[in-house]
Chain A
């Protein structure tokens, strides 16, 4: 055992962690001969003494002050939906608009939160949304969608939308287009989406065009029937916006308002961050385009944490003009909403289970699992707080798993898909080449990919006898801790799964620490922003020649939020081939680099190689990383 393994064990043992007798023996044997580790132990004890044995801090008695503040507050009811009377839908938008109009920009003074500063809302929203997700059992909401600017002859459209949810994992979204179109050349946007545990069903507008009568254009036709979809449930954020507001980074809290009888908090974010709040835009039909920086305002109910109203207004950014020209749009004023989704009625009464019915797959009773699948699927021994809600046999297909176990708790879910005969060209499940190689306690090696592209956080586990894909909307740590209780022993992925080909280019997944070492670098020497760790690395080989290595760094605890930082070392690039539209010269110590703000990338050459660092960072952070790389290699 070497110092790198011994010191963490010593540290854990100091804090009461249990070491096996073998570990204890190895640590003691090492300590007897290693002066460095003995010094580490001595100093750690010194540190403990210094921080624990100290003069008591002068702690004030704040009881009276706290109780005075508490006396004017009231506990928020448990995040369970109140049964609200269904309101007449026709009245709602007008009433909501009138009230919102009166209150825009103002705080409700004298309300229950008057002693409560606005900034504190950010973390309350997180707490509220995360707390609500597992406790929602049923939801039914009716909405009015108003869209402006689809086309010159269709300046405004009105659609109605109904959303239903029934735990576990049953969703239905219906959009009905109420617009009166100028001609029958227009196809109404009528959509139906049903998600019933791991199967989805989607129907959209028929392809009928005005001249092809007498097809009834108001009826819908199935256009997709997904065999197996690992995507996060599409309308989930209309029930509890966990994807959008489970983390409030980049969200601005504007204040409190009462909207149509709901106590709400008003928040704002760019459209690029708010996609899950407008799930219907992804489901087909015809919709107007939106600019990434268009402003999304959401009024969030502070009892049930569902959006009462969501509105998109054009961004005032001058860059939007170019975008408008590209889409042939007129200049749009930032004052007029271009999309407005208003909740008309909401209830927590359970919808009829039959509205979620999908043909073509089979829910297997737990007692029949062995018989139906022909094997006992690998199941986590400790899925808590989730529990098994269904074992499913998806319709067979080349990329479909043979069994899926679904665990859920309210809106939180985890699915374990398994295929004992997996023979695909890569790891089982949607896992990319830049997935992180992780080691799960008890299970062993696995590939991990953060949430994104409509998928939750996911793991692919290869064993000598079967292949597993685990996907969930839980946090990385929760996912790992449940996956660690699977009764399987992971094996390294077959070598051919670590390679992808694109023309003459061959990409090979390698160990990021080894890749950094090969670059002449040590992770600890690189000045990365807090929390970033090496996650994965790929080597590119073109026609047998090694053309470069890219190391991806991620923030393991907030991987849904922070985009990765990429460090690339490769062959010297032809300066003329550098197509960045906006390069600037930047000094990195004594080296000159090129910075492209649009790509957020800093490039430089050194030691006969071309280097670049890219990520959602400011120039100072990029320069700090580049300097540390230059120094680390010096």
Chain B
């Protein structure tokens, strides 16, 4: 995850819309991908991305600079995704079409199915660390939990996914 120029954040805090737009351009792809992973719905992920930046703008004074700007934004995106899912009143369904776009489709489909089966808490930690490359500390900031909690959730998610591949291996034999 990239870090913004601190001056850009300062200017955005002062209400400078151009500076905020710069932050939108810098982070929207990551926020969208994260929202897509959490909601598994393109339209919803677009709405969540918009809502995340809207909320970030309104609460930009709440960003205290002690953590990375991206971690703070991810925390908001996660809340917005939960709100959106709650509002829609559905659990995340595994959307097969979205997962068949990669060359190694069968492994990906297995992994996505396994990932959909682990608890949301474990999945969130896994996404942040393994997919988005956050450090344990940054993931802990996003999730509002201790580093040790991220470590154990990460391990449990990883164990579940390894087990899914293992089943696959055995079936192939």
Q: Which residue of B lies closest to A113 (CB)?
A: B58
Q: Does B36 contact A (CB under 8 A)?
A: yes
A116 to B53, CA, bound (A): 12
Decide: B32 and A60 in contact? CB cutoff 8 A: yes
Asked if B108 and A50 sit within 8 Å, CB to CB, the answer is yes
- On chain A, the residues within 8 Å of B51 by CB distance are 117, 120
Determine how close the nearest CB of chain B comes to the CB of A168; give it in whole angstroms: 19
Q: Are A61 and B28 in contact (CB under 8 A)?
A: yes
B121 contact from A7, A126, A441, A531, Cβ within 8 A: A531
CB neighbours of A290 from chain B (8 A): none
Cβ contacts A127-143/B at 8 Å (1 or 0 each) = 11001000000000000
B119 lies within 8 A of A115 (CB): no
Interface check B82, CB cutoff 8 A = yes
Decide yes or no whether A355 CB sits under 8 A from chain B: no
Q: Which residue of B lies closest to A480 (CB)?
A: B146
Per-position binary interface string of chain B over residues 6-21, scored 1 when its CB falls under 8 Å from any chain A CB and 0 otherwise: 0000000101010011
Q: How far is the CB of A304 from chain B (nearest CB, A)?
A: 13
Shortest Cβ distance from A70 into B: residue: B57
**Chain A: which residue is nearest B62 at the CB level?**
A131
Q: Inside 8 A of B86's CB, which chain A residues have their CB?
A: 119
Determine how close the nearest CB of chain A comes to the CB of B42; give it in whole angstroms: 8
Within 8 A of B (CB), among A340-397: 385
- Cβ A530 vs Cβ B119 within 8 A: yes
Asked if B120 and A530 make an inter-chain contact with CB atoms under 8 angstroms apart, the answer reads: yes
Cβ proximity bits B53-70 to A, threshold 8 Å, 1 near / 0 not: 111011111100010000
**Number of A-B residue pairs at CB separation under 8 A:** 165
Bound form: Cα–Cα A74–B107 in Å: 46
Expressed in whole angstroms, the minimum distance between the Cβ of B94 and any Cβ of chain A is 15
User: What residues on B are CB-neighbors of A115 within 8 Å?
Assistant: 54
Question: Do the beta carbons of B28 and A63 come within 8 Å of each other?
Answer: yes
- B141-171: contact bitstring with A at CB < 8 Å (1 yes, 0 no)? 0001110110110110011011001100000
Quick one: given A39-B166, A531-B121, are A11 and B158 in contact (CB under 8 Å)? yes
Least Cβ–Cβ distance between B97 and chain A, in angstroms: 13
A75 lies within 8 A of B60 (CB): yes
A55 at interface by CB-CB < 8 Å:
yes
Q: Is B102 an interface residue (CB 8 A)?
A: yes
Residues 395-441 (chain A) with a chain B CB within 8 angstroms: 441
Complex: A155 Cα to B49 Cα, angstroms:
53
Would you call B62 and A59 a contact (CB within 8 A)?
no
A66-80 contacts to B (CB < 8 Å): 66-67, 69-71, 73-79
- CB contact list, A54-98 vs B, under 8 A: 54-55, 57, 59-63, 65-67, 69-71, 73-79
Q: Does B33 contact A (CB under 8 A)?
A: yes
What is the minimal beta-carbon distance from B91 to any residue of chain A, in angstroms?
A: 11
- How far does the alpha carbon of A352 sit from the alpha carbon of B83 in the complex, in Å? 43
Residues of B with C-beta under 8 A to A46:
107, 165
Contact between chains at A55 and B24 (CB < 8 Å)? no
- The stretch from A12-20, A180-188, A222-230, A464-472 touching chain B is A12-20
CA distance A564 to B20 in the complex (A): 44
Contacts of B33 in A (CB 8 A): 57, 59
Find out whether the CB atom of B36 lies under 8 angstroms from the CB atom of A50.
no
The number of chain B residues touching the other chain, given as a range, is: 35 or more
Find the B residue at minimum CB distance from A72: B54
Once bound together, how far apart are the Cα atoms of A76 and B162, in whole Å? 45
In the complex, what's the smallest C-beta–C-beta distance from B88 to chain A, in angstroms? Answer: 10
Interface residues of A in 14-58 (CB under 8 A from B): 14-17, 39-40, 43-44, 46-48, 50-52, 54-55, 57
**Chain A residues, CB < 8 A from B49:** 62, 66
Residue from A16, A60, A76 in contact with B58 in the complex, judged by beta carbons closer than 8 Å: A76
Q: Which residues of A contact B146 (CB under 8 A)?
A: 477, 480-481
Decide if B38 is an interface residue (CB 8 Å cutoff): no
In the complex, chain A residues whose CB is within 8 Å of the CB of B108: 50-51, 54
User: How far is B158's CA from A8's CA once the two chains are assembled, in angstroms?
Assistant: 10
Beyond A66-B28, A123-B82, A477-B145, whether A51 also contacts B131 by CB under 8 A is yes
Residues of A within 8 A of B17 (CB): 67, 70-71
B101 at the interface (CB under 8 A from A): yes
| B41 / chain A contacts, CB cutoff of 8 Å | none
- B87 in the interface, Cβ–Cβ < 8 Å? yes
Q: Is B129 an interface residue (CB 8 A)?
A: yes
Q: Which residues of B contact A131 (CB under 8 A)?
A: 59, 62
A67 vs B159: C-alpha distance when bound (angstroms): 42
Check A17–B136 contact: CB distance below 8 A.
yes
CB pair B83–A73 under 8 Å, yes or no, is no
Q: A16-B135, A69-B54, A557-B149 are in contact. Are A54 and B59 (CB under 8 A)?
A: no
Shortest distance from the beta carbon of A115 to any chain B beta carbon, whole Å: 7
Which residue on chain A has the smallest CB distance to residue B54? A69
User: Is A542 located at the chain interface by the 8 A CB criterion?
Assistant: no
- Say whether B83 contacts A48, CB under 8 Å: no
Q: List the B side residues contacting A7 at CB < 8 Å.
A: 155, 159
Residues of A within 8 A of B24 (CB): 62-63, 66-67, 70
Q: Which residues of A contact B131 (CB under 8 A)?
A: 51-52
Per-residue CB contact flags for chain B residues 91-123 toward chain A (1 = under 8 Å, else 0) read: 000000000011110011001000000011100
Query: Which residues on B are within 8 Å of A, measured CB to CB?
Result: 13, 15, 17, 20-21, 24-25, 28-29, 32-33, 36, 46, 49-51, 53-55, 57-62, 66, 79-80, 82-83, 86-87, 101-104, 107-108, 111, 119-121, 129-131, 135-136, 140, 144-146, 148-149, 151-152, 154-155, 158-159, 161-162, 165-166
- Other than A15-B130, A52-B130, give 7 A-B pairs with Cβ distance below 8 A: A17-B151, A75-B13, A120-B80, A124-B58, A126-B79, A475-B144, A557-B145
4 closest cross-chain pairs (CB), A and B: A477-B146, A43-B162, A78-B61, A123-B79
